[in-house]
Amino acid sequence: MSSSPYIFGRIPKLPPKYALIVMPFFMSGLMSGIICMVNLVRAMGWTTQVLRAWPGTWLLAWAVAFPTVLLVIPLVKRITTKLVRLP
């Protein structure tokens, strides 16, 4: 089974060097979205207000989370290499 060189249609996949940005982008987006939803439901209960408040809260959190992840990745990698025997 070979992997297609395209994302979809005729849009080509990015070169490997972009993985250093793409992975933290999606990870920070998913994590901030989930955490915002959990915190809003905990604070407000499961209401339609939560569904209205969540997108704005999530975007603000993501705007903080993504650059923060980019800044702390080198530190986390150093800590990881101290704790984990890597191949």
Distance CA 69, CA 23 (A): 10
Query: What pLDDT score was predicted for residue 3?
Result: 82
Summarised one tens digit per residue, pLDDT across range 33-80 is 999 999 999 999 999 999 999 999 999 999 999 999 999 999 999 999
Residue 7 tokens, joined: 């994302």
- pTM for this prediction: 0.82
Summarised one tens digit per residue, pLDDT across range 41-52 is 999 999 999 999
